[in-house]
Amino acid sequence: MAWDLILWLLTFFIVISLLAVTVYQFVCLADLEIDHINIYDSSARINACVIPEFVIQGTLSAIFLLTWHWFMFLLSVPISYYHIRLYMARKHLIDVTEIFTSLDRDKKYLLVKLGFYLIIFVIVIYRLVETSVTMAMYEEEDYMVHR
């Protein structure tokens, strides 16, 4: 039972980091759109976050697969598949020369990804609270029995 709590705490922090990276990328694109940042800085900042985000997302999917949480694994597979597809096609980095032509598409992609991460976040919070309450109830019952 303690391993479940550790798992959900770990996934909670992983999903928080994924949300933060996605919001950061969206803010960089929004700043670029309203001319608060130049093209080179924006693309450099976003490209610096892409590979770590792919690795963290892959790790999250692997954790769900290895711990036999099939629903959560199946929920995170589409994002992982899309990341792998982008990486294999060498389209995972933002090109400085084409950033304005793909700005709307990239923002929509980030909003969809943010929606997926928020759904996963809500489920992880629910499971974390459920595991904590269940663990606390069983510890209280064990304490009363051994007393």
For residue 28, CA distances in Å to 18, 88, 123, 142 come to 15, 24, 28, 52
Q: Give the tens place of pLDDT for each residue, 50-86.
A: 999 999 999 999 999 999 999 999 999 999 999 999 9
DSSP H or E run through 67: none
Q: What is the model's pTM?
A: 0.89
Structural tokens at position 39 = 């093209």
Tally of domains within the chain: 1
Domain that residue 136 falls in: 2-146
Q: What is the pLDDT of residue 143?
A: 46
41-51 per-position pLDDT tens digit: 989 999 999 99
Question: Count of CB atoms within 10 A of residue 43's CB?
Answer: 21
**Per-residue pLDDT at 1 exceeds 70:** no
CB distance 57 to 76 below 8 Å: yes
